[in-house]
Structure 1
Amino acid sequence: MNDSIAAAPVRVDDYAELRDYAVIGDGRSIALIARDGAVDWLSWPDLDSPTLFAAVLDHVRGGRFFLRPDVPYTASRRYLPGTNVLETTFTTADGTVRVTDALTLPDTASLAPGRELIRRIEGLAGTVPMRWSIQPRFGYGAHTPHVARRAGVPVATFGAEAVAVCAWHAGRPQCTADSVTARFRADAGTRALIALPYAHQEPLVLPTRAECEARLDHTTTTWQKWADDRTYTGPWREAVLRSALALKLLVFAPSGAVAAAGTCSLPEELEGERNWDYRFSWIRDSAFTLDAFLKLGCAPEATSYLWWLMHASQLTHPRLHVLYRLNGDTRAPEQTLPLSGYRNSAPVRVGNAAAGQLQLDTYGELLQTAWLYTTAGHHLDADIARRLAETADFICTIWQQPDAGIWEVRSDPEHFTQSKMMCWITLDRALGLAGRQLIPDRHAARWRHERQAISDYVEACCFSERLNSYLRSADSDDLDASLLLGLLHGYRPPDHPRMHGTVLAVQRTLRDGPYVNRYRGSDGLSGSEGAFLACSFWLAEALARCGRIEEAVSLMDQLVALANDVGLYSEEIDRVTGAFLGNLPQGLSHLALISAACAIGEATR
C-alpha cells in the first residue's frame, strides 16, 4: 500500500481506534501495532496461546510495548511492498525517525530464538528524543513477570516462559520489578535495534545484533518472494495482494490450519456482549479459503489446508465440529477473563461455545472444498474419498434437523434456509465427485433422492412470493445476507428467477450504502452490531454473477476504500462513524474481497 497520511495518533481512555492497528506475524502468531508505535497485542508461542501483551483488552493489566518520540509528533506508515513488515515514520518539529517492525521468520543460517519480535529505529533527519517501555504480562495479563538480568540482558520470566530485551544503541535499559524502559536520541544517520527473543519450555537464545539484522532482512525478502508469486492481475491488485498477505498471517504454519481472525473479544458493539474468540479454524470458511488459495496460485497452502481439514475432521467423523483448534483439537471451552475489555467492552472471552453447536452448512462447505480441490486437478486418497461419501450419507439422516445456522445464534435452533441450501450442496457435490469416480458411489441413489427432498423443502417453505426472495428460515418473514451463498456456492444459478430476486431483495432490504447487514431478525443476544464486511463483498460478487457488472464494480470500489490506511479489515464497520468493530485481521473479510475481485474480473472478461 501507499504511505498513509501523517497524523497525530489519538487514544480514547488510552485505547487506540481499532482502525489504527496494523498487524505483523510469522506464521505462528501475530502482533497488533497501533499508529503510535505501541504493540498492544501479542500471543506467544502461538496465535491461540495466552498473551504477552493484551493492552487492547485492558490498558492497565494487559501489558504492552510502546516505542515513540518523547515530544509531540505525527505518524505515517506502510507495509514494505509485498511484505508483512511494518514501517512507521514519526515526524517531530526537530527531526524524523523510522521504525521497522517484524515478527521474524526462521533463518537456518544461525541458532534463532523460537519466537522473536524485532524493532529497528533509524534516524532520518534532525534529532528525535525517543522513549520505550516493555511491560510484559503473561497469561492474558494474569501474571506479572519477574525481571532480572542475565549476562547483562534484562529477562522477564514466569513459569516456563521467558522473554529477553536485547537493545543496541537504544539507550540503557532500566529494569523495574515488572518492566524495562529506556530513553535515547535518534540522530540522523543512526540506527538502533530492540529485539525480544522468546522461549517456552526451551533454552532462551540471546542473539547478536548482526543476527537480528540479518533475520529482519531475511524476513523482508522472504515475504517479497512469496508476494511476487501471487497471480491476480485485476484492477484491485493492491487490495487483493494485501488481503492475500493478511490471510497468510492467519495460516498456522505448523499445521496448515487457517484461523478466522488473529484476536479475541474485540467488540462488535462498544460496551456490548458480542465479544468472541476467533482464533480457531472454522469449517464455515473452508471453501472460500481453498478457493482463494487456488485462485492466487498458493498450491502448497491449499494442499496443506485440505489435509489439515481432513485430518482434524477425522477425529469427529462423521459429525463435523463447527470449529477446530489450530492443532486439530476439538476442545474450545469458553471462559471469561477478569479484564475490562476494549474501551470497557466486557466480557472478555477466550474459547468459543459455538464449538458445540450443530451447524448444517459446514457439511456443504466441506464437500464444496473437496470439489474445488479436485476440480483444480488434485486427487483424494482412498480414505478421504470414503469419509466424504460417509459425510454425504450422514447428511441424509440429519438435514431435517433445526440448527444454529452460519451466524451461530444463541437462541433456539431454527430451520435456516442457508443451512438447507448447503445440505443440498453436500449431496450435489458428492454426486459430482462420485460421477467422476473420485469417491465411492454406493449410495448415490439415496443422495439423489434426499437432494430432491431438500430442494422441495426449500422451495416450498423458505421462499416468499411477496418478497420474491428466499427467507432467513422456514416460514419466517426475515431476510439474511447468507442467502447470497446459495448463489455463490451453486444451489441455484445466477439467472434462476428466485435466486436473482433474492440478490435484489438483500440489496433492497439489508444494504445501506456500501454496508450490508447480516440479517433482519433475532439471534438471542442483546444489543446491535456493525455492518458485516464479508456480506458486502458477497453482494458485490453476486451482482457480478447476475450480470449487473457496473453495480458490482461501483460497490467493490466503495468497499476497497473502507480498508484502513494499510489495507486491513476487521469483521465489521460502524455504519455511521466508519470505525472498525470486531476481531482483526478478519479472515472472512479478506477472503470475500479476494473472491469478489476474482469473480468481477471473470464476469467482465
Structure 2
Amino acid sequence: MERVDGYAPIRDYALIGDGRTAALVARDGSIDWLPLPRLDSETVFARLLDAERGGAFELAPEIDFRVEREYVEDTNVLQTTFVTARGTVRVTDAITLDHGGLLPWFELVRGIEGVSGEVPMRWRIAPRFGAGESAEELSIDRIGAAVRATSRGSSLVVYPFDAGDPHHTDDEIGGLFETDKGSKASLVLRATHDEPIPFARREWAERRLDDTVGDWKRWLAGAGVEGDWDAVVRRSALALRLLTYVPTGAILAAPTTSLPERIGGDRNYDYRYCWVRDTAFTLDALINLDLLVQVHASFAWLLDAVATTEPDLHVFYDLDGERVSAREELALDGYRGSRPVRRGNAAAGQLQLGCYGDLLETAELYVREGNALDDATADRLADILDHLTTIWKKKDAGIWELPDAEHYTVSKLSVWTAFDRALRLVEEGQLPRDRAEAWRECAKDVREFVEGECWSESRGCFVMFPGSAKLDASVLRVSRMHFLDLAGERFSSLVDAIRDELGAGEGLLYRYSGQQQVEGAFVACSFWLVEALARAGRLQEARKTMTQAVGHANDVGLFAEEIDPKTGAFLGNFPQGLSHLALINAAAAIRAAEEA
C-alpha cells in the first residue's frame, strides 16, 4: 500500500468496533480513526483527516512487506498478515465486546502471532485528543509496564505484552520487538474518562479477544442469510451492526465525517448522525435478515426520536435521539487537503418530505411482520400524517439534500407512500379510522400530481421535478412503493431510461443527470437498479448488475458512499450504511423473484 502525502486510499481501510465506537484500520496496520468514547465523540486518532496532526496507532514490520487481510469469518475481527523476506506475522485486531454493558472502558486488542521466520516489528501510538488540536494538554507517563496518555480527563493506557519495552516522548509512545514462528505478543489499549484506570491482564485480554470472535459468530448465526449472495450479505449485515449504537439502538449513516466526494473539493459532510431515511431503510434490511431484536430496538429509538420534534420530522437526529443544530469547522487539513472538515450537517434545517414516507413505510412493514403499534405511537403517527396533509404541496430539498427547493418527484412519491401505508395500517386496526378520509384524499391528490406533472412521455420516465429534463436514480425506489404496475410498460421504460442516462459502466450509476463531472458514482443506486430489475422480473439483468456491483467492494467487502468509475477509488464517508443496506435489499429482491 502506498500513501499519498501520508494518506491511505479510502478503499484500503477496514472497520472494527463494539457497538459504542469504531476504528478504521489501514492495510499497512495503522489505526487512523478512533473516536472515544462514542461513535460521534472527538477523536483520539484522526490521521484519516490530517496526516500530520491527526494521530494514529501504527503496527507493522520494520522491513518491506506485502499484505493479505480478511475478517475472521462471520465476525468484525480483522486479521492482517504481513509477508516479508524474513518471515510472516499475523495481526488480529478487535475492539472487544461487552454485551453486559457494565464495563465503562474501551478496549482494543491487537494480537501479534509469528507465523514463520523472524520479523522485526515496530509500534507507535500518537494520541491526539480532540480532533488534532495542539498537544499542549497531553501528558504521557510510565505506570509499571504500561504507559498512560492523559488529556482533559481522558486516559489512554497501552499495555505491551511481549511487544518490547515501551518508550515515550512528550507526545507519543512506541516500542520494538521481534516475532518468530509460534511467538505471541499483544498490545492492549484501554481508555477511560474521569474514571479509575483498569489495568489489563494478558490472559484476560486474550480471552476477551477469543470471546469477541465467538460473540460475533453467535450474533450473525441469528440472521436469515441464504442464496448466491450470502457472503456479501453477511458482511453487509456485520457492517451495519458496527453503525448501530448499542446503548440506544440508533443507526448512523457512516462512522466518519468529511471524507470527500471529490478529492480536493469541499463536498465533505458529517455523517455521524441518524437519518430518518437511512434508519428506515436499514430496518427494512434487518427485517429481511430476521434480525428482529435489533429491529425492535432501532424502531423504538426512531419513534422516540421523532417524538421530540413531532409533528415535524427532522432529517436526522443524534445518537441520543435529540435534534442537531450546532455546526463548526475543525482545524484539520482534511483528507488529502479536502477542506473543510465539519462537525454537524447543514441538512439539519431542511424540509425533506421523503422522511414521512420512510417512517410510515417502516411502521407498516413492522406491523406486517406480526407486530403491533401501541396507542401512543398510533396517535403520534396520526398527528404526523395530519401535519403532512398541510405541507405536502411545499417544495423541499429532496432525498439528495439539494440547496434548491423543488417539487422533487421522489419526495412526492414518498408522500404518497406515507398516506398509502397509513391507510393500510387503518385497515389493520393500527391507526384511527376517523382520520383516514383526509389521508385518502391526499393520497389521491398526490398521485394525480405525480402522474400529471412528473412523468415525461418524451423521456419515458419520471423526471427529477416538473419542468426538468433531468433524471434521478432515486426514482428507482418506486419499485417498492406499489405506485406503478411493475409488469407494466411505464416501469420498464423508467428503468431503462435511468440506466441509459445515469449508467457509468460496470453496474455503476450516478445520482442524477449532470453529476458525472462533479462526483463519483453512488453505490446505493447500483443496488436500487438491481432491486428494480428483480421486481420487474428481469432476473438475468438483475443478477448481472448485482455481480458487477458487488465486485466493486474493497478486499474485505466494504463500500464507501461513492466510487470513481475511472479509477475505482472510493469517495465519500466510509463505510456507508446506505450502500450496504441497499445491497442486502437487492439480494432479497433477487431471492424473492427467484422464489415467486
What is the TM-score normalised by the length of structure 1?
A: 0.96
Equivalence for 1:3: none
Which residue of structure 1 lines up, in the alignment, with residue 549 of structure 2?
Answer: 559
How big is each residue's C-alpha offset from its partner over 1:280-329, in whole Å with a ceiling of 9 and x where there is no partner?
11011133211111111101000001100000100000100000001111
2:131–2:331 contact (8 Å) kept in structure 1: no
Partner of 2:25: 33
Task: Name the SS of the counterpart of 1:327 in structure 2.
Answer: coil
Q: Describe how 1:390-401 pairs up with structure 2 within 5 A.
A: 390-401=383-394
Matches within 5 A, 1:341-490: 341-410=334-403, 412-490=404-482
Residue 462 of structure 2 aligns to which amino acid in structure 1?
Answer: Y
Which of 494, 498, 506 is the equivalent residue of 1:502? Answer: 494
Match of 2:562 among 563, 572, 593: 572
Q: Deviations over 1:97-139 (max 9, x none)?
A: 0000001101669x85611111000111110000010000011
Whole-angstrom distance in 1 between the partners of 2:280 and 2:63 = 49
The aligned counterpart of 2:112 is 121
Query: Shift in Å at residue 589 of structure 1?
Result: 0.2
Letter in 1 for 2:291: C
> Does residue 531 of structure 1 match 2:524?
no
Q: CA offset at residue 154 of structure 1?
A: 0.9
Q: Post-superposition shift, 1:491?
A: 2.5
C-alpha deviation, 1:15, in angstroms = 0.9
Match of 2:199 in 1: 206
Residue-by-residue CA offset, 1:364-414 (whole Å, 9 max, x unaligned): 00000001100000111100011111111111100000000000012x211
Partner residue of 1:549 out of 521, 531, 539: 539
Q: Secondary structure at the match of 2:125?
A: strand
- For 1:104 and 1:332, how far apart are their aligned partners in 2? 33
Partner in structure 2 of residue 94 of structure 1? 86
**Superposition pairs of residues 103-118 of structure 1, within 5 angstroms:** 103-106=95-98, 112=103, 114-118=105-109
Structure 1 moving runs of 4+ over 3 Å: none
Segments of 5+ residues of structure 1 without an aligned counterpart are 1-8
* Secondary structure, aligned partner of 1:494: coil
Alignment of 1:41-120 (within 5 A): 41-106=33-98, 112=103, 114-120=105-111
Deviations 1:555-599 (A, max 9, x none): 000111111010000000001000111111100000000000010
Tell whether the 8 Å contact from 2:119 to 2:179 is kept in structure 1 after alignment. Answer: yes
In the alignment, what sits opposite 2:211?
Answer: 218
Q: Classify 1:143/1:527 alpha carbon distance in 2 versus 1 (closer, same or farther; 3 Å).
A: farther
Q: Residue 143 of structure 1: CA displacement?
A: 4.4
- C-alpha separation between the residues in 2 aligned to 1:488 and 1:503? 13
Structure 2 partner of 1:185: 178
Q: 1:527 to 1:355 in 2, by over 3 A?
A: farther
Partner residue of 1:314? Answer: 307
User: Which residue of structure 2 lines up, in the alignment, with residue 288 of structure 1?
Assistant: 281
Q: Which residue of 1 aligns with 2:576?
A: 586
* CA distance in 2: counterparts of 1:506 and 1:330, whole angstroms: 35
Q: Report Cα offsets for 1:450-490 as digits up to 9, x if no partner.
A: 11111111111111110111010121111000111122233
2-structure distance, mates of 1:521, 1:452? 32
Q: Secondary structure at the match of 1:16?
A: coil
Q: 2:163 aligns to what SS in structure 1?
A: coil
Which residue number corresponds to residue 323 of structure 1?
316
What do you get for the CA RMSD once the two structures are aligned? 1.4
Output the CA distance in 1 between the equivalents of 2:517 and 2:155.
41
Instruction: Work out whether residues 113 and 207 of structure 1, in 8 Å CA contact, stay in contact via their aligned partners in 2.
Output: no
Segment drifting more, 385-394 vs 594-603? 385-394
Deviation for aligned residue 1:10 = 1.4
Q: Which residue of 2 aligns with 1:172?
A: 165
> What is the letter of the counterpart of residue 583 of structure 2?
L
The AA in structure 1 aligned to 2:348 is A
Question: Does the aligned pair in 1 maintain the 2:164–2:176 contact within 8 Å?
Answer: yes
Percent same amino acid at aligned positions?
48
2: distance between equivalents of 1:148 and 1:29? Answer: 26
1:148 to 138, 141, 161: 141
Distance 2:6 2:59 in 1: 15
5+ residue gaps, structure 2, are: none
Give the alignment partner of residue 600 of structure 1, picking from 586, 590, 593.
590
Which residue number corresponds to residue 268 of structure 1? 261
**Shift of residue 183 of structure 1?**
0.6
